[in-house]
Structure 1
């Protein structure tokens, strides 16, 4: 009863030992490298298989050519000796015992009655060799009487003698040909095996060395979390595809880091922008609730309504920004007559502190492809910004350039110019160059960023520049014909 228990214990120890070996880091790494699904293993197997097919084909062709040449040499010697014996038989000089040339195993001459009339010494006194079949166009014979079994080629010719026709069988030894073929086969087998092993090792090492930077990039990317976007993947010293892959990955990480920073800054700014009016609104409502004077309560409620409208506008701007971010770089929409849209929006505005002059083309094609509501919001935001900063007047100029496939929309105010260092900052979300004035005028710090994002999703641009008439916000958009190309 103790024996089965001992066997179970041995099997358990064996399994534990296998588990420890399999769990060793080096063994695990080797198993991972030998994974058939890995690029390294598949590349090595493909290289070895391709080389093996080429080597087998070349070896088979070489052996066939070698075999054909050796057999041709042996058969040529046998035919020459058979021809010499045929001449002797024709001249009537045939003797009963015939000498063998080098490479010839036997000679046997048989008359028309099946009687042996001449033979080589090793077949003296033996009957006619019985044929056992044909091979390669030649008859084969049972040569067991010679006491030496090996591959032979038999050549048979006929000749006319004074005593009648005779048949001459000359057997030539293929022992040398067989030995050469066997030696060549063994040499080719060894060389092909060595070459396959060499190709496999070189391919394995070369592929591993080539994929080592890729594995380093993969490991680094796998280790990068949403809070580690400042990390970068290692770039190899070479100038190949892997180096370009590393550059692309690092550029992507830089974009992700910048996008994350913008998102965090945007969330912080949005929280601040929402918290301030909410605090003011709550204070106004609390004061209005407890204040005994009805007139003061009415003023507090009116102020609360203004802050509520400001919160509503801010929430709408945030929602529009989220929709613009989700829409991508281009927007597929309907055909919009930009000239008509400009005239309609400017004509519908009331209560602006400064007059607006509009100049749009009457005969040129000013059609763009996009969202009419968003394009109207772009122009409205630019006009609101121009009204806040203008001194006396605002100008809207629309220029169509059909050869270039672009439309240019300029909104100009005669207010103070924008410093060149701040021309990109004003397009950042919640950015204000004059914070107090923007708050007093009801700005949320999102008008210009929304306008630029709308231009971007329509395939256009929005920039600010100084012109003789003042500060100009220039929007360029592709025409409908250019947008469908």
Structure 2
């Protein structure tokens, strides 16, 4: 079975169980070794207690020895090899010469199929070297260690099973909010509405995930609503000029009696086509802006050159009217270095300028003054476009950047997409747009664009 097909709850339980088994095995080994060490020290202490009276008696020169207690074995061998005391089992008694060879040691010997723990010590007296042999049946210690081993195995198995169960329950409790999120998401997919995913009372990772998903759902719903609104508004905007175009062409075909009348009808139809073409171009620009994810870049000098070109394009659209379009660029010695990159391409900057100039021209196409300026700042550049067209309706200001929103007093024939395009380009660049409205005087649009990374970074 592939690991990716195993549920998160099973992964948590399995991983926790493996870690618990590893630690419990290590702990069991340490406990077993400690118990074995304690048992061995106890057995040695018993052997020392068996031999101690004999060693004391020999050190004092005595020769009267008492027999050890039951289940305790001892032998005292004099320098000639005679046994003054001998309670060793027969099988172990026959090994006394071999035992004496291991003088000063505590070792395990097997005699007659029985394991004994034997301690051999020597005592120097005036008559020579005596040997004291103390022994104890090792089966008792082995039985204790065996019982401890089984107890440890049972405890380790029980602890691991309890740990696995606890991990499963904890994983179930921890993932229950995820199950609720999944069920809620499935319900939202089956029945779209305005509801959001539930957010638990605890400020944990799952609640943070739910809030993030709710933000994503809100953005998707807003995007869907914008698309629906754009389609609806675009359909409405296209329908009216198309109806007018169709009517004018029908009139030219059916009612025009002279070439002049037909030319007038065709010219009017061409104006309508120009409006449709401009509307289609604006919609394509908005679509490109919505799909754009990366920022462009240009130097301050490149933006200055584009500003001058935008002013020239505006003058060409004006023709010989009484509208004056001027531009200025701050060239003070203390301004930032011209090789700094601004987070917008020269092409997009030109589109910003063109749309702002077109808006100003639409507000007062017959006369007036439009001033464009570019001023470097410590954090970027500031583009300002100011007109003398009487300003904007104060009630319209909150909706000025909405798509297809038009101020009837300022631009009755426009599509209402100019400021929306400007706002979209500036948002991608990470800048801001500010409207300084002076009713009865004019409108000043300020666009702040930040610096991007240094060239070559």
TM bucket (normalised to shorter chain) is: 0.7 to 0.9
In the alignment, is residue 477 of structure 1 matched against residue 449 of structure 2? Answer: yes
CA shift at 1:384, angstroms? 0.9
2:156 maps to 1:192: yes
> Closer, same or farther in 2 for the Cα pair 1:85/1:226, shift >3 Å?
closer
Shift of 1:380: 0.9
Q: Which one of 94, 97, 105 corresponds to residue 127 of structure 1? A: 94
Deviations 1:163-192 (A, max 9, x none): 764544321234554444344444444443
Match of 1:335 in 2: 299
Alpha-carbon separation, structure 2, partners of 1:426 and 1:382: 12
Q: Against the structure 1 CA distance between its residues 121 and 287, is the aligned structure 2 distance closer, same or farther, given a 3 Å change threshold? A: closer
- The answer on whether the counterparts of 2:384 and 2:444 sit within 8 Å (CA) in structure 1 is yes
Match of 1:255 in 2: 219
Of 411, 422, 432, 2:396 maps to 422
**What is the alpha-carbon distance in structure 1 between the residues aligned to residue 456 and residue 177 of structure 2?**
42
Residue of structure 2 aligned with 1:453, choices 424, 431, 438 = 424
Question: Which of 345, 348, 353 is equivalent to 1:371?
Answer: 345
Matched, 1:303 2:271: no
Give per-residue Cα distances to partners, 1:29-86, cap 9 Å, x unaligned.
xxxxx99722222222222333333333233222222221221122123134335435
Written as runs of structure 1 = structure 2, the 5 A alignment for 1:312-327 is: 312-327=277-292
Deviation of the 1:360 alpha carbon: 2.2
Q: Secondary structure at the match of 2:436?
A: strand
Change (3 A) 1:294 1:445: same
Q: Distance in 2 between matches of 1:298 and 1:49?
A: 89
Q: Is the 8 A contact 1:464 1:473 kept in 2?
A: yes
**1:155 counterpart SS class:** strand
Is 119-128 or 212-221 further displaced after alignment? 119-128
Name the CA shift for 1:483/1:264 in 2 (closer, same or farther; >3 Å).
farther
TM superposition shift of 1:212: 0.8
Given the superposition, is the C-alpha separation of residues 217 and 81 from structure 1 closer, same or farther in structure 2, using an over 3 Å criterion?
same
- Is this contact kept in 1: 2:92–2:111, CA < 8 A? no
Counterpart Cα distance in 2 of 1:130 and 1:422: 118
Identify which of 353, 358, 364 aligns with 1:384.
358
Aligned pairs for 1:83-482 (under 5 A) are 83-86=52-55, 99-101=67-69, 104=72, 106-109=73-76, 118-120=85-87, 122-123=89-90, 127-128=94-95, 138-144=106-112, 149=114, 151-160=115-124, 165=129, 167-225=131-189, 228=192, 230-290=194-254, 291-328=256-293, 330-337=294-301, 338-348=303-313, 349-352=315-318, 353=321, 354-363=323-332, 364-365=335-336, 368-390=342-364, 392-402=368-378, 405-434=379-408, 438-439=412-413, 443-467=414-438, 470-479=442-451
Contact 2:110–2:116 (8 Å) recurs in 1: no
Query: Is 2:58 the partner of 1:73?
Result: no
Q: Deviation per CA, 1:371-400: give whole Å up to 9, x if none.
A: 212211110110111122247322223322
TM-score (norm 1): 0.78
CA positional deviation for 1:126: 5.4
| Number of residue pairs aligned between Structure 1 and Structure 2 | 439
Q: Distance in 1 between matches of 2:4 and 2:383?
A: 61
Aligned equivalents of 1:125, 1:262: Cα separation in 2: 100
